Amino acid sequence: MIPWLTIAIALPAIGAVAVRALSRARTPAADTAQMRRSEAATGGGTDTITQVRPARGTAAGAENAKRVAFGFSLATLAVVVAMALRFDTGASGMQFEQTHDWIPRFGVHYAVGVDGIALVLILLSAVLVPLVMLAAWREHEDREDGGAGYFALILVLQAMMVGVFAATDVFLFYVFFEAMLIPVYFMIGRYGRGEQRARAAVKFLLYSLVGGLIMLVAVIGVYVAGGTFLWTELTGSGGALAGIDTELAVWLFLGFFIAFAIKAPMWPVHTWLPDAAQASRPGTAVLLVGVLDKVGTYGMLRYCLELFPSAVSAFVWPVVALSVVSIVYGAILAIGQSDMMRLVAYTSVSHFGFITLGIFALTEQAQAGAALYMVNHGFATGALFLVVGFLISRRGSAEIADYGGVQRVAPLLAGAFLVAGLAGLGLPGLAPFVSEFLVLIGVYAFSPVAAVIAVLGVVLAALYILWMFQRTMTGPTPERLSGLKDLNVREKWAVGPLLALLIVFGLYPQPMLDAIGPAVERTAQIGTADTSAADGATTEEGGRE
C-alpha cells in the first residue's frame, strides 16, 4: 500500500532542506563577479579583498531555489490529489492509515490517517501553498537570501499542516500543533512588514504557547485516563475514554478547547490575529488565516467532541454564546479598520464565529456547514489577502485612505477584489454562501435566537466589504495612482485558481459534501446522543424529586 500521507508530509520537508542548500550554493562565475565588485569597492588592492564579506548566495541561486520550492509544492499537490481520488466517500472511519511505534516506552506512535474532514483541509493547504509562492515570488528579492529562506519556511509549514490534520495519535498531533509555531514565527518576525513585526511575532508565539501548554496537560491526562494516545482506541462507545468520570472529562475537554479557541481564534482570545496579519506579508496571512487557524476548529470537531462526548453538554451554550459574540464583534470591528490587512483579519474572527457556532449546534447540517466553511473560508480569505497584497506591493501602503479609483487603471485587479469580497460576504453563487446557509439552517433547528443574531453578521459583512471596495476601487483616480499597473501573468495565476474554485464550489459543492458527510454524521450523532442522555438524566432526577 502506498503511504500517501507520509509522502505528503515528507515531500515539503525534503524540499525545504533542498531549497536552503541551493540558496547557499555559489557558482565560480558568481565568486569571480563578487571578487571584482570587492576589488572595485576597495580600490583594487588584493590584500583587502578578504575584508569584504561575500554574499551567502546569488540571485541566480535564490531564483533556482524558489523554482525548486515551487516544484516540491506542486508535487505535494499532485500526491494529495491522487490520494483524494482514491478516497472512499461512503466510509466514515479513517482511511490511508499507518501506525508505527515511535516512542514505545511512553506509548507514542507515528499514526496517521484521514477522514473526509481532514482530507479536504489537507487539500486546502496543498492548493494554497503553490499559489502563495507565486504571489510572493518577487517580495523578498532585496534580502540577502533573495527570499529563498521564506520559501523554505513555507515548505516546512506545509509539512506541519499536513501532519497535524493527518495525525491519529494525540501526542503526535500535539507535536505538529506546536511545531507549526516555529516557521510562522520567523515568517512574521523576520520576513514580515513594518516596525511592529517582531512584537506581533512574539505575541502570536506567546498566545499559542500558553494554549499549547494547557493542551499538553490535557494530553497527559488523556494518556493517564485511557492508557493510550491512539485516537482510534480512545474514541467510540467501546473506546478507552468511554467510561471516564464526567468531571475529569470536563477538565480534559476544557484543556483542549482553550488551546483550540486561541488558535481559531475566538473572542476574547483573538487579539493576536489582527496584529499578526498586519505585520505579515500577504502570503503569510493567507496560510495563517486560511489554513493554520483551521487547526483550532478542526481540533474542536476531532478531539473535543469525539474524545469527550460526556462533557459536551456542559459547554454547548457557553461556546454558542462566545461564537455569537465573535460573529458580531468581529464584524463591527472590521467596519472601523483603516488598514486593509487588519480589516480582513477581523472579518475572519467573525467567520470563525460561524464555524464554531456550527460545530457546537450539534446538528448534522450545522456541522457539515462548519466543515465546509473551513475550506471555503480558506479560498475566499486567501484570495482577498492576495489581492490586498498586490495593492500593497504597488503602492507600499495598506491604508484604505491611500487608494481610490483603482478600477479605472487596474480593472482586473479591481474585479478580483470584488469577487473575493463578495465571496467573503456570502453572495449566493459563491462557495461561502453554501457554508453559511447550512450553518444557519442547522443552528436555527438548535436555537432560533442564536441563528437570528448570527444573521446580523451576514448583514454587517456586506457593509464592511462593500465599503472597503467603494473606498479603494471606485470614484476618481488620484494622480498618485494614475500609473498603477494591473495584474501581471504571475499574479493572475496566483489568484485566478482561487476565484475559479469559489465559483465552482459555489455552484456545485456536492463533491466536498460527499467527502465530509460520513465523518460529520458520526460526530453529530455523538453530540446528539450525549445531550439527549443528559436531558434524560435531568428529567429522571426531577421525577424522583
Q: Vertex 199, ends 194 and 202: CA angle to 5°?
A: 130
Grid-cell match 498531533, residue found:
173
| Chain centroid to CA 463 | 25
Residue 220 has pLDDT above 50, yes or no: yes
Which 3 state secondary structure label does DSSP give 268? coil
Strands 108-114 and 95-103 turn out to be antiparallel
Q: Over range 364-381, report the average pLDDT.
A: 91
Residue-level pLDDT at 526 = 64
Residue holding cell 576597495?
42
pLDDT confidence of residue 59? 63
Q: pLDDT tens-digit profile of 136-192?
A: 888 876 777 777 888 999 999 999 999 999 999 999 999 999 999 999 999 998 888
- In this prediction, residues 350-368 reach a mean pLDDT of 90
Q: What is the mean pLDDT of residues 348-372?
A: 90
377/290 Cα distance (integer angstroms): 7
> How is residue 476 annotated by DSSP?
P
Q: Quick check: 36 pLDDT over 80? A: no
pLDDT tens digits for range 280-297: 888 898 998 888 888 999
Dist CA 226 CA 475 (whole Å)? 63
Quote the pLDDT of residue 479.
83
Which residues have CB under 8 Å from 384's CB, separation 6+?
344, 417, 420, 421, 423, 424
Given a cut of 70, whether residue 527 has pLDDT beyond it is no
| pLDDT at residue number 235 | 81
What's the CA gap between 318 and 361, in Å, rounded? 11
**What whole-number percentage of the chain has pLDDT above 70?**
89
The SS3 of residue 97 is strand
| Residues 96-131: tens digit of each pLDDT | 999 998 988 888 899 999 998 999 999 999 999 999
In which band, very low, low, confident or very high, does the pLDDT at 233 lie, cut at 50, 70 and 90?
Answer: confident
pLDDT, one tens digit per residue, over 413-470 is 999 999 999 998 888 999 999 999 999 999 998 889 999 999 988 888 888 889 889 9
Q: Who has greater pLDDT, 365 or 535? A: 365
pLDDT score at 55: 47
Contact 73/84 with Cβ under 8 angstroms?
no
CA torsion sign for 506, 495, 372, 265 is negative
Look at the alpha carbons of 343, 349, 350, 355 in this order and tell me if their dihedral is positive or negative.
positive
The reported pLDDT for the residue numbered 58 is 61
**Can you tell me whether residue 239 is helix, strand or coil?**
coil
> If you average pLDDT over residues 41-63, what whole number do you get?
49
Nearest to 117 by CA among 529, 522, 443, 423: 522
- Whole-number Cα distances in Å, 14 to 7, 72, 148, 309: 10, 9, 14, 39
| 3-state SS, residue 42 | coil
Spatial distance between the Cα atoms of 56 and 366, rounded to a whole number of angstroms: 53
- Identify which of 311, 300, 313, 267 has the alpha carbon closest to the alpha carbon of residue 373: 300
pLDDT band at 46 (very low <50, low <70, confident <90, very high): very low
Q: For residue 169, give the amino acid letter.
A: D
Cα distances (Å, whole numbers) of residue 50 to 26, 46, 188: 17, 8, 34
